[in-house]
Chains A and B, each alone.
Chain A
Amino acid sequence: MGEPEPPATPTVIEEGAARGRRPSAFARAGREPLVYFALAGALLFGVDRVRHPPREVRGDIVLTRDFVDGVRRDLASRGGRAPTRAELRAALERFAEEEVLYREAAALGLDRGDPIVRRRMIQKMEVMLGGDAPEPSDAELMRWRDAHPDRYATPASVDFIQVFVDGARHPDTAADCASARARLDAAEAPTSVGDPFVDGATFTAQSRSQVELRFGGAFAEALFNAPAGRWVGPLTSRYGCHHVRVEAVTASRPAPIDALRERLRADLLEDQRSAARRRAIQRLRTRHTIRIDEASP
Chain B
Amino acid sequence: MKRSIGCVGLAAIAACSGNNSARPDVGSGDVPSAEVSTDLGAVDAGIDVGVDAPATDTGPRDVGAVDAGPRDAGATDVPIVADGGSLVTYTERRDPCTDRNPLRNAYFGDLHVHTSYSFDSYVFGNRNDPAAAYRFARGEEVPLAPLDSAGNPTRRARLSAPLDFAAVTDHSEFLGERSICTTPGAAGYDSATCRLYRSGTMAGFVEFGAFLTRTDPSRLPFCGVGGRVCTDAATAVWRTIRDAAEGAYDRTSSCRFTSFVAYEWTATTGGSTMHRNVIFRNANVFDLPVSYIEESTAPGLWSALQARCITGLPGCDVLAIPHNLNISNGNTLALEYPAGSTEAQQRELARTRAQMEPLWEIMQHKGASECSSRFSGPDELCGFELMNPTQPLCNGTGTGGGSSCQSRSSYARYALADGLREDARLGVNPYRVGFIGSTDTHNGTPGNTAEATFPGHVGDEDGTPATRLSDNNVVFNPGGLAGVWSVENSRDAIFDAMRRHETFATSGTRIRVRMFGGWDLPTTVCGAPDLAAQGYALGVPMGGQLAARPPSHTSPRFVVLAAADRTPLQQVQIVKGWIDAAGAAHERVVTVAGSATNGASVNTTTCATTAGAGAMSLCGVWTDDQYDPSIRAYYYARVVENPTCRWSTVLCNALPAGSRPANCTSGVVPPTVQERAWSAPIWALPPR
Pairing of A with B: yes
**Residues of chain A whose beta carbon lies under 8 Å from any beta carbon of chain B:** 1, 3-11, 33, 37, 40-41, 44-45, 74, 77-80, 115, 119-120, 154, 161, 163-164, 166-169, 189-202, 204-206, 213, 229, 238-240, 245, 247, 255-256, 258-260, 262-263, 266
Say yes or no: B78 contacts A161, CB within 8 Å.
yes
> Among the listed A3, A191, A262, which residue makes an inter-chain contact with B116, where contact means beta carbons less than 8 Å apart?
A3
Say yes or no: A6 contacts B616, CB within 8 Å.
no
A58-B513 Cα distance, complex, nearest whole Å: 73
Residue of A nearest to B562 (CB): A198
Q: Does B246 contact A (CB under 8 A)?
A: yes
A258-B663 Cα distance, complex, nearest whole Å: 54
A196-B95 Cα distance, complex, nearest whole Å: 31
Say yes or no: B529 contacts A198, CB within 8 Å.
no
Q: Does B229 contact A (CB under 8 A)?
A: yes
Q: Name the A residues within 8 Å of B75 (CB-CB).
A: 229, 247
Q: Does B471 contact A (CB under 8 A)?
A: no
9 tightest A-B CB contacts, nearest first = A80-B225, A168-B615, A44-B185, A196-B531, A198-B563, A8-B183, A78-B224, A8-B186, A205-B98
A19-B561 Cα distance, complex, nearest whole Å: 67
Q: Name the A residues within 8 Å of B152 (CB-CB).
A: 1
Say yes or no: B99 contacts A197, CB within 8 Å.
no
Residue of A nearest to B527 (CB): A195
> Among the listed B222, B532, B616, which residue makes an inter-chain contact with A200, where contact means beta carbons less than 8 Å apart?
B532
> Among the listed B116, B187, B513, which residue makes an inter-chain contact with A198, where contact means beta carbons less than 8 Å apart?
B513
| Selected A-B contacts with CB under 8 Å, 13 pairs | A4-B129, A5-B179, A9-B233, A40-B183, A154-B254, A168-B618, A190-B78, A191-B533, A201-B529, A205-B99, A245-B76, A247-B76, A259-B251
Q: Name the A residues within 8 Å of B143 (CB-CB).
A: 1
Q: Which of B236-244, B333-341, B414-422, B653-661 contacts A (4 or more CB under 8 A)?
A: B236-244
A74-B232 Cα distance, complex, nearest whole Å: 13
Residue of A nearest to B531 (CB): A196
Q: With A196-B530, A196-B531 in contact, do A3 and B228 touch (Cβ < 8 Å)? A: no
A255-B255 Cα distance, complex, nearest whole Å: 12
Say yes or no: A196 contacts B179, CB within 8 Å.
no
B578-598 contact mask (Cβ, 8 Å, vs A): 1 or 0: 000000000000000000000
Q: Does B378 contact A (CB under 8 A)?
A: no
**Distance in Å: Cβ of B533 to nearest Cβ of chain A:** 8
Q: Does B344 contact A (CB under 8 A)?
A: no
**Distance in Å: Cβ of B685 to nearest Cβ of chain A:** 28
A18-B22 Cα distance, complex, nearest whole Å: 52
**Distance in Å: Cβ of A78 to nearest Cβ of chain B:** 4
A-B contact count, CB below 8 Å? 180
Residue of B nearest to A115 (CB): B149
A47-B442 Cα distance, complex, nearest whole Å: 33
Q: Name the A residues within 8 Å of B240 (CB-CB).
A: 4, 6, 33
Interface residues of B in 96-113 (CB under 8 A from A): 98-101, 103, 105-106
A78-B619 Cα distance, complex, nearest whole Å: 64
Q: Does B219 contact A (CB under 8 A)?
A: no
Say yes or no: B186 contacts A77, CB within 8 Å.
no
How many residues on B have C-beta within 8 angstroms of the other chain's C-beta atoms? 77
Say yes or no: B95 contacts A11, CB within 8 Å.
no
**Distance in Å: Cβ of A214 to nearest Cβ of chain B:** 9
A44-B619 Cα distance, complex, nearest whole Å: 65
Residue of A nearest to B179 (CB): A6
Q: Max chain A CB contacts within 10 Å: which of B95, B237, B530? A: B530
Q: Name the B residues within 8 Å of A80 (CB-CB).
A: 224-226, 228
A200-B563 Cα distance, complex, nearest whole Å: 11
A201-B143 Cα distance, complex, nearest whole Å: 39
**Distance in Å: Cβ of B610 to nearest Cβ of chain A:** 15
Residue of B nearest to A262 (CB): B247
A194-B531 Cα distance, complex, nearest whole Å: 11
Residue of B nearest to A203 (CB): B99
B507-527 contact mask (Cβ, 8 Å, vs A): 1 or 0: 000001110000000000111
**Distance in Å: Cβ of A229 to nearest Cβ of chain B:** 7
A10-B180 Cα distance, complex, nearest whole Å: 10
Q: Name the B residues within 8 Å of A78 (CB-CB).
A: 187, 222, 224-225, 229
Chain A interface SS verdict (over half):
mixed
Say yes or no: B105 contacts A199, CB within 8 Å.
yes
Q: With A5-B183, A164-B529, A196-B561 in contact, do A191 and B105 touch (Cβ < 8 Å)? A: no
**Residues of chain B whose beta carbon lies under 8 Å from any beta carbon of chain A:** 60, 71, 73-79, 95, 98-101, 103, 105-106, 116, 127, 129, 131, 143, 149-153, 161, 179-180, 182-187, 222, 224-226, 228-229, 232-233, 236-237, 239-240, 243, 246-247, 250-252, 254, 512-514, 525-533, 561-564, 566, 615-619
Residue of A nearest to B248 (CB): A263
Q: Name the B residues within 8 Å of A8 (CB-CB).
A: 179-180, 183-186, 233
A205-B251 Cα distance, complex, nearest whole Å: 15
Q: Name the B residues within 8 Å of A11 (CB-CB).
A: 185-187
**Distance in Å: Cβ of A90 to nearest Cβ of chain B:** 16
A4-B183 Cα distance, complex, nearest whole Å: 11
Q: With A190-B77, A198-B513 in contact, do A9 and B528 touch (Cβ < 8 Å)? A: no
Say yes or no: B127 contacts A3, CB within 8 Å.
yes
**Distance in Å: Cβ of A232 to nearest Cβ of chain B:** 15
Say yes or no: B78 contacts A44, CB within 8 Å.
no
A11-B228 Cα distance, complex, nearest whole Å: 14
Q: Name the A residues within 8 Å of B513 (CB-CB).
A: 198
Say yes or no: A239 contacts B99, CB within 8 Å.
no
Q: Name the B residues within 8 Å of A189 (CB-CB).
A: 77
Say yes or no: B229 contacts A77, CB within 8 Å.
yes
Residue of A nearest to B568 (CB): A168
Q: Name the A residues within 8 Å of B185 (CB-CB).
A: 8, 10-11, 40-41, 44-45
Residue of B nearest to A192 (CB): B529
A70-B139 Cα distance, complex, nearest whole Å: 45
Q: Name the B residues within 8 Å of A263 (CB-CB).
A: 247
Knowing that A10-B186, A119-B151, A255-B254 touch, tell me 18 more A-B residue pairs with CB under 8 angstroms.
A3-B129, A4-B131, A6-B239, A33-B243, A41-B183, A79-B224, A120-B184, A161-B78, A167-B617, A192-B529, A198-B512, A198-B561, A200-B105, A204-B99, A205-B254, A238-B616, A239-B563, A262-B247
**Distance in Å: Cβ of B558 to nearest Cβ of chain A:** 15
A240-B564 Cα distance, complex, nearest whole Å: 12
**Distance in Å: Cβ of B97 to nearest Cβ of chain A:** 8
A190-B180 Cα distance, complex, nearest whole Å: 62
Say yes or no: A194 contacts B529, CB within 8 Å.
yes
**Distance in Å: Cβ of A292 to nearest Cβ of chain B:** 18
A142-B386 Cα distance, complex, nearest whole Å: 53
A5-B175 Cα distance, complex, nearest whole Å: 12
> Among the listed B106, B131, B180, B187, which residue makes an inter-chain contact with A199, where contact means beta carbons less than 8 Å apart?
B106
Residue of A nearest to B94 (CB): A259
A74-B224 Cα distance, complex, nearest whole Å: 11
Say yes or no: A6 contacts B71, CB within 8 Å.
no
> Among the listed A41, A115, A166, which residue makes an inter-chain contact with B184, where contact means beta carbons less than 8 Å apart?
A41
**Distance in Å: Cβ of A101 to nearest Cβ of chain B:** 13
**Distance in Å: Cβ of B275 to nearest Cβ of chain A:** 23
Say yes or no: A201 contacts B237, CB within 8 Å.
no
Residue of B nearest to A194 (CB): B529
Q: Max chain A CB contacts within 10 Å: which of B77, B530, B616, B619? A: B77
**Distance in Å: Cβ of B621 to nearest Cβ of chain A:** 11
A184-B400 Cα distance, complex, nearest whole Å: 65
Q: Name the A residues within 8 Å of B254 (CB-CB).
A: 154, 205, 255
Q: Name the A residues within 8 Å of B532 (CB-CB).
A: 196, 200
A163-B529 Cα distance, complex, nearest whole Å: 8
Q: Max chain A CB contacts within 10 Å: which of B73, B116, B186? A: B186
**Distance in Å: Cβ of B161 to nearest Cβ of chain A:** 5
Q: Name the B residues within 8 Å of A45 (CB-CB).
A: 184-185
Residue of A nearest to B228 (CB): A77
A168-B618 Cα distance, complex, nearest whole Å: 8
Say yes or no: B250 contacts A198, CB within 8 Å.
no
A119-B146 Cα distance, complex, nearest whole Å: 17
Say yes or no: B225 contacts A79, CB within 8 Å.
yes
Say yes or no: A6 contacts B98, CB within 8 Å.
no
A193-B185 Cα distance, complex, nearest whole Å: 70
Q: Name the A residues within 8 Å of B564 (CB-CB).
A: 238-239
**Distance in Å: Cβ of B498 to nearest Cβ of chain A:** 20
